[in-house]
Structure formats: structure tokens, C-alpha cells
Amino acid sequence: MRVLAALSGGVDSSVAAALLGEDGHEVVAVTMKLWGGESDTGCCSVSEVEDARRAAAQLNLDHHVFNFGEEFEEHVVGPYVADHAAGRTPNPCVECNRHLKFDVLLRRAELLGYDAVATGHHARVVTLLDGSRRIARGADSAKDQSYVLYTLTAHELDRVLLPIGALTKDQVRERAAALQLRTAAKPDSQDVCFITRAAGREAFLEQRIELHPGRIQDENGTTVGTVSAVEVVTLGQRRGLHLAGGAAPRYVVDVDLPTATVTVGGPEELLCDELELENLVWAAEECEGVMNLQCSAHGAALPATVSLQFGEQDQATVRVQWHEPHRRIATAQSVVMYAQRETTTGTEQVVVGGGLVR
């Protein structure tokens, strides 16, 4: 099989490419150049591209760089800025996977005659008894990335390989060390790649939109502090509010953009019994019933009852009813639905769909 292996410059993608070669595939490495601005972290930095090139050279792979800067701006950076301007809390990594890695790159690979695209995500592709494919959790529960891959449908999964999904992170590093890859001990990237550590999110946003200072009030309406930019405050936030010490922990329980008001309260005020999801993506068919739902990249999946709702023009949303009170989730964050399915290797918890908090 001819495989285009996406090399980000990290250890996971390097080992993924190596494993493909060991399995006898014809592998060519590609690095996506996504961000042309300043970057000091993640797959968008100049050093990451260089690390990818060197890893490809060590593995004797041809290496290409595809410039998808316009697409990245259109589908990831622009919407990220617009969401913050509207008081939403976006997840750019989900959108990068949705639009870049598993759309633009997949289509480019097909045009170039490749059979599949491979990445270094810690997740597995499993096959149901009817022959269709689904995303399942990776072997390393602490590193599992199935959450950020929920937008992959059965159609895309016919052309996607995730070679390291059956390995733990320690095993990946052991394989990299055995291959003497420069990336073997490289730390994981944790940050949004187009925002520098030095400047931060607020400095990035203020170059693109007008930010507004706001006041912080308690549940009684008493002013207890201020924020320099209400657009960067998110539901559930505790750090960075600079509230007076000595009191019980206080969290953001509401952000009102029109009045530039942030309301804080105790953790009990963040609890809810239900939520609604929109912009739904289903792995195949729409589903209802009891499922396990995950609300952050590395959070626990908790049981809830999912029901479909249809509004005007049959626009579908999902109503989630938690089995126990759950912490509220910021608008535009992803919630991913998992359910048990019979696969060719046994019963698995697989991704059946996901959506954005309304």
C-alpha cells in the first residue's frame, strides 16, 4: 500500500512512519506547513519542520512539505478568533484534524495516488462486524486521542492508518530509541501551535479583534475584580482572575459579552443536569440511548442519555441528560459520544459521534 505519513516533528509520528515501513508499505513522509506567523511550540514552529525532515532522513523516507497556510487560516485560525469575539471557547486542535489532516491532506493524497494517510495519533481504527470502521481508544489511556478524532466518519476511516494506537507512550519511545531517532526523548507539545508561550492568547487575539476590559461580580452583583479582556474568559475558569485570597474557590459561572461582565461563584453553581449539542458529526448512523460522553481531551467519559431533537428545516441537535449532575461546559467545546460495539477483535468502546456545546 502507498501511504502518505504525516510527520509533525514529534516522536509519535516518527515511530508511526517507521512501523509502516516495517510492515512493508511504500511510505512517503509529508509535513504540513500551516502557520506562517510567529510560533515557538507545536507542529507549526520552524524547529518542528526541521525535526520532521531529519526523522524522515533517518528512516530513509522521501520528505515533502505541503503549504496549507490558506486553508489553516480559513478553517482554524479565523474561526478561532471569531469564536472568542463571540464569547465562545473553541477547540482548534479538533478543527485542524477535521479540516486539515483528514480533509485537505486526505484529498491531496488521493490526487497524488496514495492509498491512505497515516498519523501518529494515540487511537485505533477498528472494524465492526459489518466491515465498516470506527475510531476506538488507544492502548495508552493517559495519551488517548480518540476525542480529537471524532469528526472522522466511516468514509474517511477507509483511508486512514493509526500505526501507534496499539502502543503505550513508553513503548513508542522505546521503539524510537531502538531506531536511534532524534525525537525519542522529545517532550510532547501541549499548547495551541499558533500562539506563542511568551505572548499568549490575549496578545494573539488583540492583533486581530478589539478586546474589551470587563468587571468581575459575585452572585450578589458586587464587583470583586476586573479582567483586561472579557473575550478570553471562559466558563469554569479559576486561574488568572486575580481575586482576593482567603475566600472559598470561585469559578467563572457566566460571561456576558454585551455588558462585559464576568460572574463568579462556587463550584456547585457550575453543575447542570443536561446540555444541548449542535454541529453534529456521526461516525455512520445517528444514535440515541445511553452512552459514555467525554467533554475534554483527557477527561473521563461519563454516562448520559442522548436523544435527538429536530427543529426548523429538520436541523438536528442532541439533548444530553447526565445521569449525575455534571460540570457545565463552555459553548463551542466538543462533546464526544462513545458506545459499545461488536468488532472483529471483540467488544469495543468506539466513537459514534460528537458535537459542539450549544
Question: What does the buried/exposed string (b/e) look like for 284-321 if buried means 16 or more CB atoms within 10 Å of the residue's CB?
Answer: beeeeeebebbbebeeebeebebeeeeeeeeeebbbbe
What pLDDT score was predicted for residue 45?
62
- The maximal CA–CA distance of the chain, rounded, in angstroms, is 67
Angle made by CA atoms 99, 43, 350, in degrees to the nearest 5: 50
User: Considering only CA atoms, which of 352, 323, 335, 351 is closest in space to residue 276?
Assistant: 335
What's at 136, amino acid-wise?
A: A
CB 135 within 8 A of CB 165: no
Residue 53: burial class (beta carbons within 10 Å; 0-12, 13-18, 19+): middle
CB 177 within 8 A of CB 170: no
Residue 346: half-sphere exposure toward Cβ, Cα within 13 Å: 0
Query: Which grid coordinates belong to 226?
Result: 476586573
What pLDDT score was predicted for residue 241?
93
CB 190 within 8 A of CB 151: no
User: Considering only CA atoms, which of 17, 31, 19 is closest in space to residue 61?
Assistant: 17
Q: What is the pLDDT of residues 67-116, one digit of tens each?
A: 999 999 999 999 999 999 999 999 999 999 999 999 999 999 999 999 99
CB 268 within 8 A of CB 220: no
The owner of cell 513508542 is 172
Catalytic residues: 96, 193
Does the pLDDT value for residue 40 go beyond 60?
no
C-beta neighbour count of 9 within 10 angstroms:
25
**What's the mean pLDDT when you consider all of the chain?**
94
Q: To the nearest whole percent, how much of the chain has pLDDT over 70?
A: 96
- Phi, psi angle pair for 69, to nearest 5°: -60, -40
Q: What is the pLDDT of residues 156-215, one digit of tens each?
A: 999 999 999 999 999 999 999 999 998 898 888 767 888 888 889 999 999 999 999 999
CB 325 within 8 A of CB 284: no
Computed on alpha carbons and rounded to an integer, the radius of gyration of the chain in Å comes to 21
Distance CA 255, CA 347 (A): 42
Strands 214-217 and 261-265: parallel
Query: Which grid coordinates belong to 237?
Result: 475558569
What pLDDT score was predicted for residue 199?
82
- In sequence order, what are the residues at sequence separation of 6 or more whose Cβ sits closer than 8 angstroms to the Cβ of residue 141? none
The owner of cell 440511548 is 289
Does the pLDDT value for residue 36 go beyond 90?
no
Q: What domains appear along the chain, each with residue ranges and CATH number?
A: 2-120+163-178 (3.40.50.620), 216-265 (no CATH), 270-357 (2.40.30.10)
The owner of cell 523516507 is 61
Distance CA 47, CA 224 (A): 43
Query: Which grid coordinates belong to 109?
Result: 493524497
CB 111 within 8 A of CB 122: no
Q: Please, which pLDDT band fits residue 246 given cuts at 50, 70 and 90?
A: low
For residue 5, CA distances in Å to 140, 166, 181, 340 come to 21, 17, 16, 30
Q: Please, which pLDDT band fits residue 46 given cuts at 50, 70 and 90?
A: low
Q: What is the pLDDT of residues 286-308, one digit of tens each?
A: 999 999 999 999 889 999 999 99
